Amino acid sequence: MGFCPQCDSTEPLQEIVDTPTASITAPPVPLAAARAGNGRQRLETGINEFDRVLGGGLVSGSVVLLGGEPGVGKSTLTLQAMGSLASSGAGVLLAGSEESPQQVGLRAERLGLGTAEIDLLTSADVDQVVSVVAKNQPDVVVVDSIQTLSVPDIGGVTGGMSQIRECAARLVRVAKTTGTAVILVGHVTKDGGLAGPKALEHIVDVVLSLEGDPDRGLRALRSFKNRFGATHVVGMFDMQHTGLVEVLDPSKAFLAEWDMDVPGTIAFPAVEGARSVMVEIQALVTESPHTPPRRSVRGVEASRIHQILAVLTRHCSIDVSNKEVYVNVVGGWRLVEPGCDLPVALAIASSTLNRPLGSLAAWGEIGLAAEVRAVPLDLRRREEAKRVGIGTSIAAEQGSRLRLIDAMNRSGLTV
Ligand code: TYD
Ligand code: MG
């Protein structure tokens, strides 16, 4: 192309010799002596939701990647964890050049951790961080952020793919040799492009993501990969003036502002890991001045919405072909289960017909023939609906048939 499509530089390309990330010199050992967990210690951060997502605390010598959009609260969460670790006597180091010591100091003040025994190392040079870790052997190092570190001896821009990868590889190496647990903070862009951090997923032990609705306080911490615990565990926090506070009953938090008498809203008992969380799904259908009409979706896959709209139009006399459709999962929650099809369809139908659904929860996957299929963990969802006091639940039961039009009839949306 004659220029770099990422940074527009017209400098000539430079060849980078990839250095092996670990030297393999150890002699063979019997499997029995090498069982996972042998010689490894769990270090509890003291923040229960964080520890739960980690599978019971930080494992010594492990590397955790914590991704999230700028401003979501990664620095806050890690500083709170460091404060609590330090107060229980662990040696903790905060390294990187994301923020100046003054900025970190201000945040610590705000979190009530002004006097916490945390060492700060403001450096953009990964080798300096590595040598401090090797020398001081702290229990935990937080690198905020991996994008602000660089290696002088290889090319590429700071924050670029090859730099991020090499920095992480050096930090992984020092974690394994010293037994220090390393948390790498990584920025993820708004459009979900994990670009840099994504390239690290295979070299780290644990991948966590902190997500949330920037307009609201609720934050979800999810595990996507965990060599020492279960994945898809979710921890919930509320961002308050004095930092992140654990949310013990997320269903109650989600439903606190639920106005069930407005058309287009319904509850959905989502299941994530070992936990059921009741979330509110909203839809708004209005006349459209645009051709084609606008479709805006937050928290559900857009492709599913298009399919649901097609099924509603073709099989249920809910014609939205020239209407704007907005679908939103309240609280910034992201739904990936097909079980959210039915509540989404009912919310859209409810808004189109301008009839509220009241105290209703629903779950089920919708097929192209407008059949509603059962989804796993029916009982758990039913119990969660009962626990939070929702009057009616509509779902396809295993082995029986439910048509979308019947589900609509049962929820009072007779066309
Ligand atoms: P931060 O941890 O800096 O986010 P990240 O490191 O992921 O970029 O969090 C920044 C936001 O959090 C900022 O908008 C201010 C807000 N915040 C609070 O609401 N309460 C607090 O106690 C703190 C420290 C930050
Ligand atoms: Mg930060």
Are 147 and 165 in the same domain? yes
Rounded distance between C-alpha atoms, residue 28 and residue 88, angstroms: 37
DSSP structure class, residue 206: E
Looking at residue 400, its pLDDT comes to 80
Beta strands at 392-395 and 140-144: parallel, antiparallel or unpaired: unpaired
Range of the domain at 356: 252-410
- 226 with 361, same domain? no
59 and 130 within one domain: yes
Do 293 and 223 lie in one domain? The reply is no
CB of residue 112 inside a 6 A radius of ligand 1: no
113 and 220 in one domain?
Answer: yes
Q: Is the CB of 212 under 6 A from ligand 1?
A: no
Q: What is the CATH number of the domain that holds 299?
A: 3.30.230.10
* pLDDT value of residue 386: 94
**What confidence score (pLDDT) does residue 274 get?**
72
Give ∠ CA 324-330-331 in degrees, rounded to 5. 140
For residue 55, is it within any domain?
yes
Q: Counting atoms of ligand 1 from 1, which one is nearest the CA of 185?
A: 6
- Residues 155 and 303 both lie in one domain: no
Task: For ligand 1, say whether the CB of 70 is within 6 Å of any of its atoms.
Answer: yes
Q: Whose CA is nearest to atom 12 of ligand 1?
A: 73
Atom of ligand 1 nearest to the CA of 210: 7
Q: Which atom from ligand 1 is nearest to the alpha carbon of 69?
A: 7
Query: Block means of pLDDT (10 residues each) for the chain, length 415 residues?
Result: 76 69 68 66 92 94 94 95 96 94 95 93 95 96 93 81 90 94 88 64 93 79 91 89 91 88 96 85 93 91 94 94 93 86 98 96 96 93 94 89 94 89
Pick the last residue of a domain from 186, 221, 248.
Answer: 248
Give the number of the ligand closest to the Cα of residue 76.
Answer: 1
* Residue 36 located in a structural domain: no
Q: Is the CB of 241 under 6 A from ligand 1?
A: yes
Mark which of 248, 282, 301 sits at the end of a domain.
248
Tell whether ligand 1 has an atom less than 6 A from the beta carbon of residue 67. Answer: no
Tell whether 311 and 383 lie within a shared domain: yes
Same domain, residue pair 266 and 377: yes
For residue 32, being part of any structural domain is answered with: no
80 and 168 share one domain: yes
58 falls within a domain: yes
Q: How far is the CA of 117 from the centre of ligand 2 (A)?
A: 20
Could you tell me if 280 and 325 lie in one domain? yes
Is the residue at 2 inside a domain? no
Same domain for 244 and 95, yes or no, is yes
pTM over cut 0.75: yes
Q: Is the CB of 74 under 6 A from ligand 1?
A: yes
Domain annotation covers residue 82: yes
Give me the number of domains the chain comprises.
2
Contacts of 267 (CB under 8 A, 6+ apart): 255, 258, 260, 278, 279, 280, 281, 343, 360, 361, 362, 385, 388, 390
Q: Using DSSP, state whether 122 is helix, strand or coil.
A: strand
| 187 and 53 belong to one structural domain | yes
